[in-house]
Amino acid sequence: MTTRIEILTSGDATKVLNEIAAKFNDLSEPMNEIAAILEGATEDAFAEERSPVTGAAWPALSENYLKQNPKRVGGQMLQVSAGGLAASIAADSGAFWAQIGSNKPYAAIHDYGGLPEFAPGPAAIPQREYFGVSSVGEQDILGVLIDYFTES
State the pLDDT at residue 79. Answer: 65
Q: How would you write 64-89 as a 3-class SS string?
A: HHHHHCHHHCCCCCCCCCCCCHHHHC
pLDDT in tens, 61-77: 888 878 887 777 666 76
CB 148, CB 27: distance < 8 Å: yes
Q: What is the mean pLDDT of the chain?
A: 86
